[in-house]
Structure 1
Amino acid sequence: MAVRKRPVSNLLGLAVLGLLLEQPMHPYEMAATLRERNKDTSFKVKTGSLYDVVESLARAGWIAEHSTERAGRRPERTVYAHTELGHQEFMSWLDELVRTPVKEYPSFLAAVSYLGALGPERAVQALQERITRLDDQIDQARQARAAVLDQQTPRLFVIELEYALTMAEAERDWARRIVGEIHDGTLSWPELTTRDGREVWTDQDEMEKQQA
């Protein structure tokens, strides 16, 4: 199924539309609420970017000014709310994202495709450091999830933390397995050889000879 092009494609826009399902809000409140709920693990929440997204949503007719409010001597803040079109677009966008897998290109996947270039020792060192950092992320994610659930927040409302935790654990466990396979030799490592002033894999050298 072809993915429909939308006038707003930044996923931060999805977060804004999701917040406005609850009540009208001004952008500063949106940013604070997203961070308070640990949604910055799912969306890149930067105040400047959020204001840009809000403007884009307003131009598209998905949200509209609801009111203005002032706190003390601070400038007036514009409060936004869904339009009927915005609500329809949010539901359609959300449904499409859940249904349709999208090909993504994670930087780690790109790096792993050239893991052999590091050599066994350096590859192990790099993977072990990544495992340590993933362990830290997993601990933080577990603590964040527990803290939110302790506030009697329904699990469904923080299910993305559960998904992120599961993915981090799976990546950590995969990296551990690869380190083990390097150590016990079940993941073989081709040797580098020098030819024509450049280093090539022995396997690649043999393949080029066969093709000659």
Structure 2
Amino acid sequence: MATKRKVSNLLALAVLSYLTQRAMHPYELSRTLRDNGDDRSIKFNHGSLYMVVQQLEKAGYIAAQETNREGQRPERTVYALTDAGRHELREWLRDLLGEPEHEYPSFVAALSLIGALPPSQAVPLLRHRLQRLAERAAETRRLIDTALAQDVPELFLIEEQYRLTMNNAESSYVTSLIEKITDPRTGWAPMWAEFHGETLPAQAPPDAEGQQT
């Protein structure tokens, strides 16, 4: 069972991880997160980052090391990882890697309520999703190929490879779902359309080999 954490925002996990490298101020942390592409996995902005830093300091996982100023810029406080923070980082990662969590993705919620739309609307939307998934997969492949060409170790690309694998799995599922909805042998679409007061166009019956004539 996953442990209830003092700070549970995944942005905090990333902050703890990067502070193992060296002490940083929040602006430097933000730049490091973006430079490493973590904004593809963790949603954040400057406001949420500063809030997480405050929460981590209050929990005793990081501590202010020094405050400095460069020219006319505002003062910046540099934070360092504490022993408690290093322990929390390792325990948190162990939980996330070893224990599956029940998540609530928006697409699953949409699928659970898809019956509220008639199939005449649902199918085009699913086909549009397929197209967007294909575009996203191509973008992720380009990112991986570019990084590998620059001799980035594959270890540092595993989240992108996971993202690509999940993207492809979703594409396969959506393709299968569209086929089930549109295949006259399943009987889904006529009953579904009738519920919404729609009538589907007549379709030719399948021939002996299961193909429409």
Same fold (TM over 0.5): yes
Structure-to-structure mapping, 1:179-194, within 5 angstroms? 179-189=178-188, 190-191=191-192
Q: 1:3-48 deviations in whole A, cap 9, x for unaligned? A: 2211101010001011111111111111111111111111012111
Find the counterpart in structure 2 of residue 69 from structure 1. 68
The yes-or-no answer on 1:176 pairing with 2:160 is no
Distance in 2 (alpha carbons) for counterparts of 1:119 and 1:144: 38
Structure-to-structure mapping, 1:132-171, within 5 angstroms? 132-171=131-170
Find the counterpart in structure 1 of residue 17 from structure 2. 18
2:119–2:193 CA contact under 8 A, matched in 1: no
Q: Structure 1's 178 and 67: CA in aligned 2 closer, same or farther, altered over 3 A?
A: same
The yes-or-no answer on 1:123 pairing with 2:122 is yes
Q: Once the 2 structures are TM-superposed, how far is the Cα of residue 187 of structure 1 from its aligned partner?
A: 4.0
Q: Once the 2 structures are TM-superposed, how far is the Cα of residue 193 of structure 1 from its aligned partner?
A: 5.8
SS for the counterpart of 1:66 is strand
Q: Structure 1's 16 and 186: CA in aligned 2 closer, same or farther, altered over 3 A?
A: farther
Which letter does structure 2 place at the counterpart of 1:88?
H
Q: 1:57-85 deviations in whole A, cap 9, x for unaligned? A: 00000011122333332112111111000
2:118–2:193 CA contact under 8 A, matched in 1: no
SS for the counterpart of 1:105 is coil
Q: Which stretch of the first structure deviates more once superposed, 179-188 or 41-50?
A: 179-188
SS for the counterpart of 1:8 is coil
1:38–1:144 CA contact under 8 A, matched in 2: no
Which letter does structure 2 place at the counterpart of 1:82?
L
Q: Structure 1's 132 and 148: CA in aligned 2 closer, same or farther, altered over 3 A?
A: same
Find the counterpart in structure 2 of residue 104 from structure 1. 103
Distance in 2 (alpha carbons) for counterparts of 1:58 and 1:163: 32
Distance in 1 (alpha carbons) for counterparts of 2:73 and 2:89: 32
Which letter does structure 1 place at the counterpart of 2:107?
F
Find the counterpart in structure 2 of residue 31 from structure 1. 30
SS for the counterpart of 2:65 is strand
Q: Structure 1's 163 and 84: CA in aligned 2 closer, same or farther, altered over 3 A?
A: same
Distance in 1 (alpha carbons) for counterparts of 2:50 and 2:133: 32
Find the counterpart in structure 1 of residue 85 from structure 2. 86
Q: Structure 1's 185 and 72: CA in aligned 2 closer, same or farther, altered over 3 A?
A: farther
Q: TM-score, length-normalised on structure 2?
A: 0.84
2:3–2:95 CA contact under 8 A, matched in 1: no
- Structure 2 gaps of 5+ residues are 198-213
1:37–1:148 CA contact under 8 A, matched in 2: no
Distance in 2 (alpha carbons) for counterparts of 1:50 and 1:187: 50
Q: Once the 2 structures are TM-superposed, how far is the Cα of residue 114 of structure 1 from its aligned partner?
A: 2.4
SS for the counterpart of 2:80 is strand
Query: For the aligned residues, what is the CA RMSD?
Result: 1.9
Find the counterpart in structure 2 of residue 210 from structure 1. none
Q: Once the 2 structures are TM-superposed, how far is the Cα of residue 186 of structure 1 from its aligned partner?
A: 4.5
Find the counterpart in structure 1 of residue 44 from structure 2. 45
Q: Structure 1's 56 and 30: CA in aligned 2 closer, same or farther, altered over 3 A?
A: same
